[in-house]
Amino acid sequence: MEKKYYKTTYNCPLGEITLAGDGEYLTGLWLKNQKYFGSTINKHTIKKDNLDIFNHAKKWLDRYFNGKRPNISEIKIAPAGNEFRQRVWQILCEIPYGKTITYGNIAEEIAKERGIKRMSAQAIGGAVGHNPIAIIIPCHRVIGANGNITGYAGGIDTKIKLLKLEGINTDKLITL
């Protein structure tokens, strides 16, 4: 039997967000017109606004957009992806609020874990870009080498807004 997925929407300062879940876990959070929108869930989602997981996620997002620092562990998440992507997303969850790291930093960490000389920062970028739970899994906190603000599935302007919300001075970062 195919697993059921549910969806709802949430309005925030960035516009409309779509939340998806399986009834117990949050499986997706996408900004309107985001690249790879809904790519990791069953296309036949059922609109259901009042699930507990959605209510928790909306309260988390309310606090986040009001400048609080909600913890990722407060939300039961289950992003769908292969082992490599799961590891990258786990590293993203460890990036502290208001801090950034580079794709290269993540590549170095995974290369070390795997006992290999190097890992492609582009491979990391692919996994970061396919993050199905934007904002909560903070892929916006990953920047390119030399402070370059590169790629964001929700758009560079949105990435800059999220970084500024977290108190990161984006004036010193370079927009490509």
| Range name among 101-110, 139-148, 166-175 with the lowest pLDDT average | 166-175
The phi and psi torsions of 128 (rounded to 5 degrees) equal: -60, -45
Q: Which CATH number fits domain 5-74: 3.40.920.10, 3.30.70.100, 3.30.70.580, 3.30.160.70?
A: 3.30.160.70
What CA–CA distance (Å, rounded) separates 58 from 36? 22
The phi and psi torsions of 101 (rounded to 5 degrees) equal: -135, 170
| C-alpha closest to that of 45 among 30, 63, 62 | 30
Q: How far is CA 92 from the centre of its chain?
A: 8
Q: Which CATH number fits domain 83-175: 1.20.120.1200, 1.10.10.10, 3.30.365.10, 3.40.1190.10?
A: 1.10.10.10
Q: How confident is the model at residue 33 (pLDDT cuts 50, 70, 90)?
A: confident
pLDDT in tens, 56-102: 999 999 999 999 999 999 999 999 999 999 999 999 999 999 999 99
Domain extents in the chain? 5-74, 83-175
Q: Which residue in the list 77, 124, 139, 162 is annotated as catalytic?
A: 139
- Angle in degrees, CA 51, 56, 59, rounded to 5: 125
Give yes or no for a contact between 79 and 86, defined as CB atoms under 8 angstroms apart: yes
Tell me if residue 12 is catalytic. Answer: no
